[in-house]
Structure 1
Amino acid sequence: MAKVTITTFLTLDGVMQSPGAPEEDPGGGFDLGGWLAPYADEDMARHIAGWFDRADAFLLGRHTYEIFAAYWPHVSDDEDPVIAKRLNGLPKYVASTTLDRLSWNNSTLLSGDVVDAVRKLREQPGRELQIHGSGALARSLMAHDLIDEYRLLTYPVILGKGTRLFTEGAVPTALHLTSSATTRSGIALHTYELRGRPTFGSM
């Protein structure tokens, strides 16, 4: 059975919106995009490349798909033999209620019940079905315990506004920390496995 993983960039206050550039996702009047850039370093790139190397397929929301599809098809395997090679060559499953066609090769539109479609993909043999960004898709899958591993890169910045990965009303969930690291620029990288429902007590 394949494992569903998510890799996402977060601020200290949990914002995931528009990390890469100001124009990436200005939805809702968000004007603080590009907050990741000052902290990007070789350590971050090495970890991300290592995770991409484990992918057998990708699960993407509409907005993340459009950002990726505008850039990665123009990057050759020689220029980026890990990320570009995998994103351009491996299957991509896209959750969208507004798109009716996908131009990026090896892309399949998940129509109908996306949760059920992902559940069926997860049951197939393989290594990893990787989610990158794609907050709305991730939240819908988290609500059904369909994300097996979380790779959270937390940056030393607070924004005070923007779309968050973990929102009010999220299903209470227990995770187990399996690895952690810190880059030279101060990014904290934590990997968690799903453990089910949390338990509670008194101190």
Structure 2
Amino acid sequence: MKKLILQMQMSVDGFVGAEEDKDWQVWNWADDNRWDEALKRDFNNHFQSIDTILLSSKMAEEGYLTHWGNAARRYPQDPFYAFAQRIVEARKVVPSDRLDTSRWERTEVRSGDLARELGLLKAEEGSNIGVFGGAGFASALIAAGLVDEIQLYINPAALGRGTRIFSEAGFQNLKLLGAKAYDCGIVVSRYAPVR
């Protein structure tokens, strides 16, 4: 059975989004990302275990697929070329009750009960499912008990206030699967919900 793996960037004080426009994430969508080579390598190696991407409709509509499609057309020496290629090659699923069809390549829109649709996706043959979306999408998946692994990319910044992903879920016991610190200041902590 496939695992649903959620990856989120987070501040050291537990926020995934800032209330003010701050440059706090070591990796952003721009070309000025500050990830070190070891983190890029480990991220790309992990992403080889993903064959499907679950993407919030908001993130898809805000340009996530367009951005990585453009990055995949750049030169192979681009630091995020390998990741961009995987985004383009992977099957994408966008849950939405507003969209009827997808305008993005290799992307399907699924409507209806999210838990049922994800159950069907997880039961399919193949590799794991990576989740990318905003705080609301992530929070809803966690609260519904649909996430099998949470990977937190903890940035060396404290925001003081902002948006959290565990607010809706309430109390959760998590089992640490692993943690690794990188020279750029990111610590990746991997957890599984205790069920």
Shift of 1:93: 0.6
**SS state at 1:75 partner:** helix
1:150 counterpart = 2:139: no
Q: Which residue of 2 aligns with 1:21?
A: none
Please tell me the root mean square deviation across aligned C-alpha atoms, in Å.
2.2
Shift of 1:117: 0.6
Give the Cα–Cα distance (whole angstroms) in 1 for the partners of residues 133 and 23 of structure 2: 14
Q: Which residue of 1 aligns with 2:25?
A: 36
Give the Cα–Cα distance (whole angstroms) in 2 for the partners of residues 126 and 56 of structure 1: 7
In the TM superposition, what are the counterparts of 1:63-102 in structure 2 within 5 Å? 63-65=58-60, 66-76=62-72, 79=76, 82-102=82-102
Superposition TM-score, scaled by structure 1 size = 0.80
Q: 1:51 aligns with which of 46, 49, 57?
A: 46
Shift of 1:33: 4.0
Q: Which residue of 2 aligns with 1:173?
A: 172
8 Å Cα contact 1:95/1:137 also seen in 2 = no
Give the Cα–Cα distance (whole angstroms) in 1 for the partners of residues 65 and 45 of structure 2: 21
Query: Aligned residues: percent identity?
Result: 26
* Residue correspondences, number: 184
Query: What residue ranges of structure 1 are gaps of 5+ in the alignment?
Result: 19-29, 197-203
**SS state at 2:93 partner:** strand
8 Å Cα contact 2:12/2:154 also seen in 1 = yes
Give the Cα–Cα distance (whole angstroms) in 2 for the partners of residues 165 and 144 of structure 1: 12
Q: Which residue of 1 aligns with 2:17?
A: 17
Residue identity opposite 1:95 in structure 2: P
8 Å Cα contact 2:142/2:166 also seen in 1 = no
Measured at CA, do residues 153 and 96 of structure 1 come closer, stay the same or move farther in structure 2, by a change above 3 Å? same
Residue identity opposite 1:72 in structure 2: W
8 Å Cα contact 1:39/1:187 also seen in 2 = no
Superposition TM-score, scaled by structure 2 size = 0.83
Give the Cα–Cα distance (whole angstroms) in 2 for the partners of residues 59 and 162 of structure 1: 24
Residue identity opposite 1:120 in structure 2: L
